[in-house]
């Protein structure tokens, strides 16, 4: 069994999701968001993210991590802030000695929904189905779980996520 | 006495400089560069920076940190990488529980050279004079030392750096 920590980095909200992979079986463990306050200084916000991910790691003891590759924002200042948030996430993982894989949003969507142009709601929907969740996680947590699922399937696209089941998928929804 | 760690963040090279401030006296302690290999993955490079700054802190036990505010690059991808390097630096400082001050390159140059448009060589020259160094540190290490000096002088611009001495400065060079 491998426990995978997925992370969707952001300065205001960093999503995390923990799943167990046992053969072709995936099991939900935990997910949530680490939030920072925009009235704090940047060093304080980075510390919150760094320490928050450290707490998640200490609590759930993952074996591997998968971090979404963030997109370059239109606003260079936002890009710089996002980069720093991602640096905090990678640093926390480095401190824990975790092997880190990186996936683009395209790869994550392909692995979870089956195509790279899926909407956020489709990703959430498929995360709920694949992990058999009772409720829908927040968008950032769902993205983090999706990133962990992508890693669990070797980062490969397509419907590997569905294993041997005879499901059919249309527009990212299970229909069979 | 306060020991200040200055950091000039960069993904390829992160400069660091440690000085002691004792009243109006500044004393050089150490400086250097943490280099990452561009054949490594980004998570590995971030780990190198994070661990490198951790080692510097463990070795020199600073009381406070000053980190240069990096500029937004023309290339958005470079901005994102630079942001991640800076995030690693801030995370390492957060882990050490150090209070972190941030200064723009303009503030650093004003504090060290006396005006914000100083060239890199002028900054290096003034760092050598102010800290009475036998040799000239590498550019990134000099920038980090300059950032520490800026913090030592309360982040204020002008020639506070020269204390009560009767030096005159022209174009960033001591002339009296």
Q: Where are the domains of chain A?
A: 2-175
User: Which sign, positive or negative, has the C-alpha torsion A18, A38, B90, A105?
Assistant: positive
Contact between chains at A43 and B67 (C-beta distance less than 8 A): yes
Measure in Å the smallest separation between the Cα of B174 and chain A Cα atoms. 35
Q: Global pTM? A: 0.85
Residue A85 contacts residue A139 (beta carbons within 8 Å) = no
A36-41 contacts, C-beta under 8 A, 24 or more apart? A36/A11, A36/A12, A38/A12, A41/B100, A41/B102
Residues A23-61 have pLDDT tens digits of 989 999 999 999 999 999 999 999 999 999 999 999 999
May I ask the CATH architecture of the domain A2-175? 2-Layer Sandwich (3.30)
When pLDDT is averaged across residues B14-41 and rounded to a whole number, the result is 96
Report the residue of chain A nearest B79, measured CA to CA. A80
Report the residue of chain B nearest A80, measured CA to CA. B83
> Is residue A83 within 8 angstroms of chain B, CB to CB?
yes
Q: What is the pLDDT of residue A117?
A: 87
Better pLDDT: B165 or A115 = A115
Looking at chain A, the whole-number percentage of residues with pLDDT higher than 70 is 88
Residues B77-86 have pLDDT tens digits of 899 999 999 9
Q: Tell me which residue has tokens 């306060």.
A: B2
Max alpha carbon distance in chain A (Å)? 51
What band does A67 get if pLDDT is binned at 50, 70 and 90? very high
Taking one residue from A and the other from B, the number of pairs with CB-CB distance under 8 angstroms is: 111
Q: What residues of B are in contact with residue A103 (Cβ under 8 Å)?
A: none
> Is residue B156 within 8 angstroms of chain A, CB to CB?
no
A8 is catalytic: yes
What band does A155 get if pLDDT is binned at 50, 70 and 90? low
> Is residue A116 within 8 angstroms of chain B, CB to CB?
no
When pLDDT is averaged across residues B74-102 and rounded to a whole number, the result is 94
When pLDDT is averaged across residues B45-52 and rounded to a whole number, the result is 98
> Is residue A96 within 8 angstroms of chain B, CB to CB?
no
When pLDDT is averaged across residues A152-163 and rounded to a whole number, the result is 55
Q: Which of B45, B55, B84 to mutate to test the interface with A (most CBs of A within 10 A)?
A: B84
Report the residue of chain B nearest A94, measured CA to CA. B47
> Is residue A13 within 8 angstroms of chain B, CB to CB?
no
CB atoms within 10 A of CB A74: 8
Q: What is the ipTM of this complex?
A: 0.82
> Mean pLDDT across chain A, nearest whole number?
88
Q: What is the pLDDT of residue B155?
A: 65
CB atoms within 10 A of CB A58: 9
**Per-residue buried b or exposed e for A27-51, using 16+ beta carbons within 10 Å of the residue's own CB:** ebbebbbbebeeeeebbebbbbbbb
When pLDDT is averaged across residues B18-42 and rounded to a whole number, the result is 96
Q: What is the pLDDT of residue A49?
A: 98
Confidence check: pLDDT of A168 > 60:
no
Residues A117-135 have pLDDT tens digits of 888 899 999 999 999 999 9
Confidence check: pLDDT of B161 > 90:
no
What band does A116 get if pLDDT is binned at 50, 70 and 90? confident
* Structure tokens that stand for A168 in this block: 């059919």
């Amino acid at each position: 069994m491998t426990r995978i920590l997925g992370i969707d980095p952001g300065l205001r909200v960093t999503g995390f999701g923990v799943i167990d992979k046992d053969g072709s079986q995936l099991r939900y463990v935990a997910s949530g968001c680490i939030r920072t306050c925009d009235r704090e200084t940047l060093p304080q916000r980075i510390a919150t993210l760094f320490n928050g991910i450290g707490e998640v790691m200490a609590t759930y003891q993952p074996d591997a991590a998968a971090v979404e590759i963030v997109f370059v924002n239109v606003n260079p200042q936002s890009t710089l802030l996002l980069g720093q948030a991602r640096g905090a996430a990678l640093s926390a993982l480095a401190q824990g000695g975790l092997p880190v894989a990186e996936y683009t949003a395209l790869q994550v969507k392909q692995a979870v929904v089956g195509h790279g142009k899926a909407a956020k709601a489709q990703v959430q929907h498929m995360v709920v189905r694949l992990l058999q969740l009772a409720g829908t996680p927040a968008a950032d947590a769902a993205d983090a779980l999706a990133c962990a699922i992508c890693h669990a399937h070797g980062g490969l696209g397509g419907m590997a996520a569905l294993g041997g089941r005879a499901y059919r998928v249309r527009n990212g929804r299970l229909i069979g």
